[in-house]
Chains A and B, each alone.
Chain A
Amino acid sequence: MNDVSSQRGVDSIPSKISRPKYIGEPVQRLEDPRLLTGAGRFTSDIRLERMVHLAFVRSDQAHAKISEIDFGDALEMPGVLAIYTAGDFTDIPDISAPSRMKNYHATHCPVLARDVVRYVGEPVAVVVATDRYLAEDAATSIVVEYEPLGASSNVDGALAAGAVQLHDDVPGNLVLERVFATGEAPEQIAAASHVVEGRFRLKRKSPLAMENRAYVVDYDRGRDALTLYGSTQIPGVVRDELSRLLGMPGNRIRVVAPDVGGGFGGKGSIYPEEILVVAIARRLARPVKYVSDRLEDLTSTSQGFDEVVKARLAFDDDGTFIALEAEVIGDIGAYSIYPWTAALEPVQVASFLPGPYRTPHYWGRVRAVCTPKPPTGPYRGVGRPMAVFALERLVDKAAAHLGMDRAEIRRRNLVRPEEFPHRIGSGIIWNRSGFMECLEAAVETIDYAGFKKRQEAARKEGRWIGQGIGTYAELTGIGSRIAVAPGMPINTGSETATVRIDATGAVVAMFATASHGQSLETTLAQIVAEELGVRPEDVQIMQGDTAVAVHGTGTYASRSAVIGGGAAIKSTRSLLTKVKRVAGRLFDVDPDRVETGDGEIFVPGTNHRIRFADLARAVYSDMATLPLDARETLESQESFDPYLGTTTSSTHIAEVEIDPETLAIRLTRFVVAEDCGKMINPQVVDGQVHGGVAQGVGVALLEELQYDETGQLLSASLADYLIPTSAEVPHIEVIHLETELPDNPGGFRGMGEGGTIGAPAAIANAVADALAHLDLDITELPITPSKLHRLIVDKRATKDME
């Protein structure tokens, strides 16, 4: 660290540190020792005196009127303290996600179903008992009588004229409708000489974090104050909304996300259960614990995707894209989730559909439809996995139509380095990122040029192999100018960091982020250490706790490294200025001559050299060394709001082999080339890419929540809902490119979701390529052996008809 960097002002960008030591290094994670030794503290590990346990009675009907709830002898069963239904919580307003968006109808979700249930798994009653086994015993003896109300579990039925309405205030089950238009897409498509089209579907899936949702409330009877420990990605949002719903000030509500076992979006919304644990703890004036099981996770945690995209792409003889048109229909389930609203997923499909290409004309319409299924919410990639899957399939179809190479058609249409910033037809602006560079790097690494020969040779041996490209761009670290979800009433665009040196010289940095696997305790410590001149292990990162931040939302949407990291840089530089000022007084030199490094504060070329502990003692404890006016508190707080967002780009290439007998699809190779700007910790970046790709493998080949026409979930266990194991995920090769650093402190771009965005499209294109000789189109993911079999049988039948 030298004084030049700090004197250039906190916004001087990108940061140029003369001796980077920790940023860009694979620093071993500070969270690991506890997590590796069973000493982590997950919510379900928390045990408090006099703690009671909850078990929920959940609806076994999709859309029905509750005609009777018969407690039977449940109240007399051992250990049972109370049983509550909707009527016991009339003081708690319904959960409702407002939006300034036009043509949007908010839904109202009571914390326990009132009169009507709207999905299988919706909480209807809750048992409080001294022990979880006893609570579950009582819950199973409660009988709820329903009168079925119908309602279609699929969007076509839900949109049909005269369909049963799920909510009185959502006419025609249409929660929202929105149109994006730039230029004259329909006219251009009508006039174009070449058009490809398709109807693409991404099935409903579960985020499926390994830790099921869990909540524990510690209640302070003396102060009517509470601490909610919860498996959440958004403690700040939960605190703010609890304050509103319960009418309690924030200084009596503390929300802590302790160690959280993955989220992927599923722990990024507000749930009825986390409001109820709080209300019950207050009512009984004792601690309450609720740990959901996997069945509850699969039926009541927010779900992902579930869209149909009908799209057409027009292009000229050279393969230059002219126009894109799309109809997006999202099945959002029974409620518009708080705080994101039902717009989050389907609207982002339409926003990102034009992708990283220059397509002058775009028209996209989104409709979000409610059906009696669990609400959809954020899931890793949000909207973009669907958008990229649909677009990249169209791009491959366009190449096939023209007999053009699939990489070449992408080269011709990708936004070129000199064309940034580039506004796409939905209004998103891409800033400079390595679109073309990622494509070229991936193509080169995987021997794209040699694949056709390998494929021909394999086909002669009766083996079906295929290669597929998935290229995309995404917006990350989104500032306050752009809402993560359109019209949403909360600000997700800023982060505040507080960095301080205590009386012992130890460094603590506080954030409103909520790491649940992202390694923020390490990466944010690397940033603070780098800027302040200490070692990462000397910095304690406190986050996931509303007690350490006045405002802040949490960790989601690939934001924490960009926005949290930016706030860390600004605050630490501000603190460093104080450190130098105080040290300057101590050494009787100009503060600009003071430098820091490895936990020491010194003036080069002199014998002035002290440790941070010495400086802290001089400031806080030793009343003789410094005059009163020089003893300033060694703490700084700065906020960072990137205002807009920063573009991350990547190309994924997958190779598959399909067994002609069993139709089993095996991934044989996977290459990712990505540009996430400056890497804070390359090992952590690799880990995020690998994990994202693995979830993309799940999207493409395995994961599907199957609902029958009555809204019953058919894949309600981990033996039926399959996620990738180590045997299905291939070795993943990752190439990092750093083209031009973005215009933000640190030069970071978000990258936590990207793996899941590119992989489904790449795998779909590879499967289609492997089956090209059969002339099959891949339009629905996941694609499974049984679905492939159906496609082949249908194709034969069509041919026989002809």
Chain B
Amino acid sequence: MTNETNITLTLNGEKVSAKAEPRMLASDFIRDVLFMSGTHVGCEHGVCGACTIRFNGKTARSCLLFAAQLDGANVETVESLGTAIDMHRIQKAFRKHHALQCGFCTPGFLMTVSEILETLPLSTDDEIRDALSGNLCRCTGYEHIVRAVRELVDERDGVPA
């Protein structure tokens, strides 16, 4: 660990600095160096989506980024949303619709949903399913996740419940 570099980033609104080897993955850096363990690691090859973060506003697989790439970036993880006693609207919708079971994939889904609500029309459930298809969940069969997102989309679009 002789060739560590300094990495300075904005993590969930807070400016932080830490050192990491050039080869260190962003997912490991966030979890093991910055101690934000809400970002989960499920495959380390960019398929499962559990490690999804928002990297300068756009969702990204943190297991496919190097820690060094986070230098100067604005990074948001699941911890940026709400707290257990004051949950974010997306978290509340997930709870209401039982859109999580074991909860391991959930942080990645929440980050994806936070982005697609801002960027996609999601006018049909099929569009929601397509938009979520980059995140794998093994527990829910997606049905309740789709319902939670549907409610959030309707709320966003002012569609009466």
Which residues of A come within 8 Å of B, CB atoms? Answer: 26, 28-29, 31-40, 42, 44-45, 47, 78, 131-133, 208-212, 259-262, 264, 293-294, 516-519, 683-684, 686-687, 689-695, 717-719, 723, 725-727, 729, 731-732, 755
Contacts and interface: CB of A to CB of B under 8 A. Distances in A.
A36 B106 contact: yes
Contacts of B94: 32, 36
A727 B87 CA distance: 28
A726 B132 contact: yes
Contact of B95 (A29, A38, A131, A726): A29
Given A36-B91, A38-B36, A726 B142 contact: yes
A723 B138 contact: yes
B140 A691 contact: yes
B65 interface: no
B69 interface: no
Contacts of B154: none
Given A38-B36, A262-B101, 13 more contacts: A33-B84, A37-B81, A38-B37, A47-B32, A131-B1, A210-B138, A211-B42, A211-B102, A261-B104, A293-B43, A718-B47, A718-B136, A725-B132
Contact of A687 (B21, B31, B98, B135): B98
The prevalent SS among residues of B at the interface is: loop
Nearest to B101: A517
B87 A683 contact: no
Contacts of A694: 138, 140-142
Contacts of B105: 210, 261
28 contacts: A36-B87, A36-B94, A37-B83, A37-B91, A38-B39, A38-B78, A44-B31, A44-B40, A210-B42, A259-B104, A261-B105, A262-B101, A262-B138, A294-B48, A684-B98, A689-B141, A691-B101, A692-B141, A718-B47, A718-B136, A719-B45, A719-B47, A723-B136, A725-B133, A726-B135, A729-B129, A731-B125, A731-B146
B48 A718 contact: yes
Given A36-B94, A517-B102, A691-B101, A45 B37 contact: yes
Q: Nearest 8 pairs between A and B by C-beta?
A: A38-B38, A261-B104, A35-B103, A690-B141, A517-B102, A694-B141, A517-B101, A33-B84
Contacts of A260: 102
Contacts of A693: 141
A695 B81 CA distance: 30
A199 to B, nearest CB: 30
A44 B32 CA distance: 10
B99 to A, nearest CB: 9
A42 B44 contact: no
Contacts of A212: 42
A293 B135 CA distance: 18
B42 A729 contact: no
Contacts of B132: 725-726
Contacts of A40: 38, 103
B160 to A, nearest CB: 22
Contacts of B100: 32, 35-36
Contacts of A29: 95, 98
A211 B94 CA distance: 20
A721 to B, nearest CB: 10
A40 B138 CA distance: 18
Given A38-B107, A691-B139, A718-B47, A686 B144 contact: yes
Given A210-B42, A294-B42, A726-B129, A36 B140 contact: no
B155 interface: no
Interface centre among A47, A259, A695, A725 (most CB of B within 10 A): A725
B62 to A, nearest CB: 13
B77 interface: yes
Contacts of A731: 125, 143, 146
A260 to B, nearest CB: 7
B145 A726 contact: yes
Given A262-B102, A519-B101, A729 B95 contact: no
Contacts of A683: 98, 144
Contacts of B102: 35, 209-211, 259-262, 516-517
B9 interface: no
A528 B71 CA distance: 51
A727 B96 contact: no
A783 B83 CA distance: 44
A39 to B, nearest CB: 6
B152 to A, nearest CB: 14
B47 to A, nearest CB: 4
B138 to A, nearest CB: 5
B95 A28 contact: yes
A731 B143 CA distance: 6
A210 B48 CA distance: 8
Which residue among B31, B40, B78 has the maximum number of chain A CB atoms within 10 Å of its CB? B40
A517 B41 contact: no
A210 B40 CA distance: 10
B103 A687 contact: no
B59 to A, nearest CB: 15
Nearest to A37: B84
Contacts of A519: 101
Given A261-B103, A718-B48, A36 B95 contact: yes
A727 B133 contact: yes
Contacts of A209: 102, 104, 138
A686 B78 CA distance: 26
B100 to A, nearest CB: 6
A732 B141 contact: yes
Contacts of A261: 40, 102-105
B110 A36 contact: yes
Contacts of A518: 101
A40 B40 CA distance: 10
Nearest to B98: A683
Nearest to B25: A133
A262 B139 contact: yes
